Structures are given as C-alpha cells and as structure tokens.
Amino acid sequence: MSGTALIYDDEMTRYKLLWTDPTCEIEKPERLMVSYEALKSKGLAERCESFTVREATEEEILLAHSKEYLEAVKQTPHLSLEELMSFTQQYSDVYFHPNIYHCAKLAVGATLQLVDNVMTGKVRNGMALVRPPGHHSQRNAANGFCVFNNVAIAALYAKKHYNLNRILIVDWDIHHGQGVQYCFEEDPSVLYFSWHRYEHQTFWPCLAESDYDGMGKGKGAGFNINLPWNKVGMTNSDYLYAFLQVLLPVAYEFDPELVLICAGFDSAIGDPEGHMCASPEIFGHLTHLLMSLANGRLCVVLEGGYNLTSLAQSVCQTVQTLLGDPTPILTGIGSPCHSAVESVQNVQAVHQSHWSCFNHITVSLVSEPSTKRSRKEDGDGEDTTETKDKTDKTEDIVWAEPLPRPAPPVRTVAVVPTELEDCLPEGCQHLGEISQLYIEEAKKIRNDHARDMTNEKSLQCLQNVLSVLEKIRNKEVCNGMVLVPDVFAFVSCAVQHALGSLCDRVLVVFVGDGNIPLDTQDGRVLLVQICSKEPEGVKSHYHVPVCLSKGLCEAASVIQAVLGLLLPLAYEFGPGLVVEALGDGSSKQDVPVWSQLTSLLQGLGQGRTLALLQRDCGSEMVSATGVSLLGSPAPSLGPLGAPLSEDVEALEAQRQRLKSQWGLLLKTESRTESQDK
C-alpha cells in the first residue's frame, strides 16, 4: 500500500465575505488558490492521486449536527444580502454567502473521500484542501469561519463505516477546536489533542474549557488533551517539545487505528492570528512523527492559516512529507521557552492518572488553571513584552523560503549475503560485489580504527560500507543497510569515514550491549546506546546509555526512551547522518520496535541513515529494516501498558545527568536563568 491522495476542488474558492468585517476578512478564497498553486508549481500535486470531490449527504452531516441547524444552513443560498448578514449575527466570527452551503458540503465530502481512500487502502495517506474549515463548528452553531465540522464528521463516519475503536485527532491549528472537543468529550474512542494560543483565556474563543484541565468527561475522561499556549512567539523547539513530551507518548499508548489532523497553519510564522514563530518546515516534521502511527493511515485536513505565504509553504512541507521525501533540515532546536515548559508540565500532571506514560515521574502542577487565578498574575516573570514585540507586526516578519527537498533517485540500497537477498523488500536496491574503488580508504580506516579486523572478507565488507556512504554523500541514495561481521568495529569505521567526508555531526544509535570504540569527547558524535547492561566508563555528555532491563522487548519502555531521551537529544544535536546499529542478541520479538525506531530516526539528518546489522540478526530483521528505510510505515505496536518502573528510573537518571547540556530535556524544576528566553 502506497500513494498519497490530494483532494481538492476549486469550487471551494467560490464564496467570500460580501460586506465589511475586519475579523472575517482574513478567511478568503486566495487561501485555497495559493495552496493549490504552490503544490502544482513544486510538482507535488501531480505526484498525488487526485479524486473528484463529492458533496456530503445530509445523513453524513447529521452525524455531528442537529436537524434544525442543517435546515437553517440549507436556507442560506436563498437569502438576500441583508438576510445573510442578519443570519450571520447569531454566530461568532463567521460569515455566510449564497454559495457557502454548497462549499461546506464539498468540504465534508472531500474529507470523507480522503477517509474512504485511506481506509480502503487505495492510498496510504493524504490531504484534503478545503474551505470552509470545520473545527469550531458545533452541533447547533457555525463559529470561527466554520460551518460543518469536517473532521468530527469524518471521525464519526470512520467509526460507523469501518468499525474503528480508536481514532486520534491532532489539532495543530492555533485556535482551540472547541467544536471537536464538544463532539467527543464523553467518547473514549476518539482521542482529541489540541494546542492553541490561549494567553490565560484572553485569546479567542476565550473559553475556560480550553485550559489544560479540560480533559474529557465520564467515559471520555483523559481522552481530551488541551495544551494552552500562554505566550505568543512559540518556536519550532516549543512545538517539537510538545509533541515529544505530550502528544506522542499518549498517541503510542493509545495506539490509534486512524489519525486525522485538523491542519491549520495559523500556527506558523507570519500568521496574523497566531503570532507564533514556528517555521513551515516544522510541519514536515510534525507530519513525519505521526506517520508511524496507525500503520501510516493519516488524513490531513486543512483548517486555518491566514498568511498566504506561510500557509502555502506549510501545506507544501506537509504534502511533501506525506509523499515520503526526505525530511527538511531543522536548525536551532533547543530549549523550549519557560511558558511552554509550564504548560506541558501542567498537562502531564492532570493526565497522570489517565496515561501511564505520565504516571512515572513525579510531575506536579506548576500553576492553577487560568480561570482559577487572577489574570494579571502571569506566573512566569516579567518577560511578557519581549515575545510579543517580535510578533506584533506580522506584515514585517520575514523568514527564509524552505529549501528544496530533492529525493535521491534510489531511496534504499542494501548489501546482504546472497542467501538473504530474497528477504529484501521490492524497491530496495541490492548492491552486488563492490569494485575495489575504496580499497585504499578501507585499509587506511582499518589501520586507524579496527586493527584486529584482519581477514579479507571483513575488508571487502568495509568497502561495501564505504561505498554506501559515498552513495549517500553523492545523493544517489537516501539510506542504506549493510550486514556486517562485527558491528562494533564497523560503526567506528563508518563514523570516521562519515566525519571526514560527509558531514560534521553523526548520531549513532546502537542497540545492544558492549563497549563501542568511539570517541565522543569532541561533540561531533552523539552515541545513544539502548542496552540491558550498563556499559563501562560513560563520562561524556555525548554518550548516552539507555539501560532497559528487557532491552527492546518491552515496547512501552523503549518508546518512552525514544520519545523522552533519544529524539530530544537527536533533534537538538542536528546530525547530518544517522548510523543505526543492531548488535548481536536481538531476537524476532524485537522486530516491530526496531522498525518503529528506524522510521522515527528518519526525521533526522534529512533521512540519511546507514543501518549496520550484525550478520546473524535474522531474515525478519533484514526485511523489516528494508521496509522502514523505504519509508513504509512501521507496524503498530498495539496499545502500550506502563513502562517498567526500573526502566523509568534509569531514564530519569540519564535525564538528570544530561539536562544542563540539552535544552529539550527541560522540565520546570531544572530551569536555569541562562536557559530562559
């Protein structure tokens, strides 16, 4: 199963504001036009599967809306201008037009077509470019430019038609999708996550229920997660931190069967509503991080986004990631701001009893919900003006256009023994006998770094590794896999070669016990070792042993380690290459976790990965690694239980050891003046 759907119909550009209203003028037809034009001009639209858009049926709209409301909206095409204006009056921040009912039915229809094509396996994932947006609309009301709740209807439709029991809705729009929250408040089968500009309830829609203590009711308690942003100017680091600390741990524990994104891009830089500072590239990463859930079934549905430039760029970043192109470079990832850390910690604290990923560490509330305390008391210092100033005049903000993300002609190359060639998935290029091109370099590296590697076969294999690295360097391939006789020596040799010719920083993720002969003192190599026995002599801040009592076997512990330690360090480190190595002692049971790890790591270093596997790791491991390197979604791990408490303690000990060096490991207790914004 592969392919990305793009659902679009220019009919949805054919309604607009017909009178003067400063709050509504930003929601204009050009939003959709520029997004689609950008996808066409970058050659992305033609790479997607397109489908003609249908209208939703009344029955489908009634999944989330009342009969009375539908009947009222149905009359709007026949109203005069004056009647439209007064009809509009009963709702907040929305306008009607004679053609909006038609467009709203198309917006729901487009979203349902996306769900159908993903659920029936016609495509792996996709995006629906729609207007009007949906996440603010409610059972009985239009609101915030929204008429029908596209994504809420899609979730109810997917439950009904595909018998789904667990759906995740991620709302990265900068406004709270209160309409979605109301729809699923008591429903544990739909997990809703929203971050939103909140500023202690002073930002629209100014609701108490949007605060971090709005967490669902009755059976749905714990299945609504609100992350309020109490400052403007949030950056890539804050968004990444929120994903790694809150959304992803819960999402892996929940194990959705389908992921829907309320994809508003008013959370991007330059937006006149959001006033945030995250770059368009971040949406490539947020998308990538969600692509290994639900076996890759991911439906992205446009919501807001009012700066036409950043909107179009962000849409392109998202779609290009869905298509599987190398992830964009993120520079300058580091400490989240104090206000973000505080919000994250509050969410973790109130959700501790619902999600075992949070009930380990002692997290306590940093502050009362905004409604229960005085508005003026901000709780986080006197720096309120500093972040505001940067983002007040959105028209003055400039940022670099995202760089192209060309995909090498071949994604994955592999060198495996002949008897394992048949295990390689289709599309994975096999390298036969390597020419002697790299013999001198191989000998030199062997003499410097692996003197006891004496036999001819090893030297041949080392040439294979060098050859794969050269192909990565020349952009002939994106990633590669080599089975090696001695993973310790080969990791060391590969890293030396890469640092000399390919990039400045290498991330090594080593799974297995033992001591890897790598010098991590100079900060050019970050070594994260997932092991079951503590390795000797760990001193450097760039050597991070993650000791898990059952190694890869306990998925909950591994996911906690990957999201809570490995990925924060890795994103902040910003490697140009990832070397992932699997030592001996791995077993069949480790395959799904290894696959997830391999998929997640492709967010780093523009997806440039060298996988080195100990030669006897088994055919399942070889084939699963190939599949993940090719960009196929890793199989889901099933709902996760609590991580083992000894593992949690070991992770917390590492976090304590490293937190002063790595900003993304911050918690409020560890904040120092210099790390504060």
Q: Which residues bind ligand SS9 (CB under 6 A)?
A: 23, 93, 133, 136, 144-145, 173, 175, 204, 264, 266, 273, 303-304
336 interacts with, out of Zn ion, ligand SS9, none, CB within 5 to 8 A per kind: none
Separation CA 271–CA 582 (nearest Å): 44
Separation CA 285–CA 535 (nearest Å): 32
User: Between 296 and 304, whose beta carbon lies closer to ligand SS9?
Assistant: 304
Give the list of residues 6+ apart from residue 515 with CB closer than 8 angstroms, or none: 488, 535, 536, 537
**CB-nearest residue to ligand SS9:** 304
CB of 177 to ligand SS9, least distance (A): 8
Separation CA 249–CA 354 (nearest Å): 12
User: Between 20 and 435, whose beta carbon lies closer to ligand SS9?
Assistant: 20
Buried b (16+ CB within 10 A) or exposed e, 428-462: beebeebeeebeebbeebbeebbeebeeeebbebb
Of 65, 97, 135, 136, the catalytic one is 136
Separation CA 122–CA 476 (nearest Å): 30
Q: Max alpha carbon distance in the chain (Å)?
A: 88
23 interacts with, out of Zn ion, ligand SS9, none, CB within 5 to 8 A per kind: ligand SS9
CB of 25 to ligand SS9, least distance (A): 11
User: Between 304 and 575, whose beta carbon lies closer to ligand SS9?
Assistant: 304
User: Between 266 and 590, whose beta carbon lies closer to Zn ion?
Assistant: 266
Separation CA 599–CA 294 (nearest Å): 13
**Contact, 258 vs 294, CB < 8 A?**
yes
Q: Considering only residues 237-266, where is the footprint of Zn ion by CB under 5 A?
A: 264, 266
User: Between 23 and 668, whose beta carbon lies closer to ligand SS9?
Assistant: 23
204 interacts with, out of ligand SS9, Zn ion, none, CB within 5 to 8 A per kind: ligand SS9
CB of 517 to ligand SS9, least distance (A): 54
Separation CA 242–CA 415 (nearest Å): 38
Active site residue 497: no
CB of 263 to ligand SS9, least distance (A): 11
CB of 264 to ligand SS9, least distance (A): 5
* Nearest in space to 245 (alpha carbons), one of 560, 536, 30: 560
CB of 278 to ligand SS9, least distance (A): 16
554 interacts with, out of ligand SS9, Zn ion, none, CB within 5 to 8 A per kind: none
User: Between 265 and 358, whose beta carbon lies closer to ligand SS9?
Assistant: 265
CB of 23 to ligand SS9, least distance (A): 5
**Contact, 63 vs 156, CB < 8 A?**
yes
Q: Alpha helices of 437-566 — where are they, by DSSP H?
A: 439-449, 456-473, 487-501, 555-561
Q: Considering only residues 286-325, where is the footprint of Zn ion by CB under 5 A?
A: 304
CB of 29 to Zn ion, least distance (A): 17
Q: Which tokens belong to 381?
A: 């210092």
On the 0-12 / 13-18 / 19+ scale of CB atoms within 10 A, 560 is buried
Count of beta carbons in the 10 Å neighbourhood of residue 427: 15
145 interacts with, out of ligand SS9, Zn ion, none, CB within 5 to 8 A per kind: ligand SS9
Separation CA 499–CA 508 (nearest Å): 12
User: Between 305 and 324, whose beta carbon lies closer to ligand SS9?
Assistant: 305
633 interacts with, out of Zn ion, ligand SS9, none, CB within 5 to 8 A per kind: none
199 interacts with, out of Zn ion, ligand SS9, none, CB within 5 to 8 A per kind: none
User: Between 249 and 264, whose beta carbon lies closer to Zn ion?
Assistant: 264
DSSP 394-438: GGG---PPPPP-PPPSEEEEEE--GGGGGGSPTTEEEP-SPPGGG
**Contact, 164 vs 189, CB < 8 A?**
yes
93 interacts with, out of Zn ion, ligand SS9, none, CB within 5 to 8 A per kind: ligand SS9
| SS3 label, residue 357 | coil
Question: Which residue carries 């689609």 as its tokens?
Answer: 36
User: Between 262 and 341, whose beta carbon lies closer to ligand SS9?
Assistant: 262
Separation CA 97–CA 499 (nearest Å): 60
On the 0-12 / 13-18 / 19+ scale of CB atoms within 10 A, 85 is middle
Instruction: Give yes or no for residue 134 binding Zn ion (CB under 5 A).
Output: no
CB of 266 to ligand SS9, least distance (A): 6
Separation CA 574–CA 571 (nearest Å): 5
328 interacts with, out of Zn ion, ligand SS9, none, CB within 5 to 8 A per kind: none
Spell out, one character per residue from 172 to 201, where the chain touches Zn ion: x when CB under 5 A holds, - when not: -x-x--------------------------
Active site members: 136
Residues found near Zn ion in the complex (CB under 5 A): 173, 175, 264, 266, 304
